[in-house]
Amino acid sequence: MLFSTKAEYGVRLMIELGRQPGSTPISLNSVAEAERLPLSYLEHLVAKLRKAGLVTSTRGAHGGYRLAKPATEITMDAVVQALEGQIAPMECFHETPEGRVLCSHEGDGDRACSTKLLWTRVQNGVTKALAGTTLAELVEFSTPHPHPTAGRGRATVIHAA
């Protein structure tokens, strides 16, 4: 299953917003420079994220974008769905608002779609992985941490006699 650059760049945008101290807004130009992403594309993505209630904007000299809620409360399924739409492993797959999975091939005859079980499991696995990952986890993962032995000097080797 492949996600488009909308998901990749949008998640990178969200991580950059999550790195900001407190709720300090950051300009999209700063995000574009930090992540080496096209500004015009980020403008398109941030509009989708704003519509989904994941980011807010502030106008003015010190304006920009910030997370609409804490990073611990933002899951990646919400981000990806805001950017990509419904997560479906096959074009024939459609989920109803009630959570039922429909396959457009089921109307081809009086038999159930023979591959529906497989694609339902794939969809559930991807959705579970995205829903189980918070923005806070990605921010933490992407933050460089010093090596535990850094700054302690060289190790001393002691030989037993």
For 6-51, the pLDDT digits (tens) are: 999 999 999 999 999 877 899 999 999 999 999 999 999 999 999 9
Query: Domain 5-142, what architecture?
Result: Orthogonal Bundle (1.10)
Tens digit of each residue's pLDDT (9 = 90 or more) over 83-141 = 998 877 776 666 666 666 666 665 555 566 777 788 888 888 999 999 999 999 999 99
Question: Do residues 67 and 16 make contact, with C-beta atoms less than 8 angstroms apart?
Answer: no
Question: What pLDDT is attached to residue 75?
Answer: 97
Question: Do residues 116 and 101 make contact, with C-beta atoms less than 8 angstroms apart?
Answer: yes
3-state secondary structure of 94: strand
Question: Do residues 107 and 161 make contact, with C-beta atoms less than 8 angstroms apart?
Answer: no
**pTM summary value:** 0.78
Question: What pLDDT is attached to residue 117?
Answer: 81
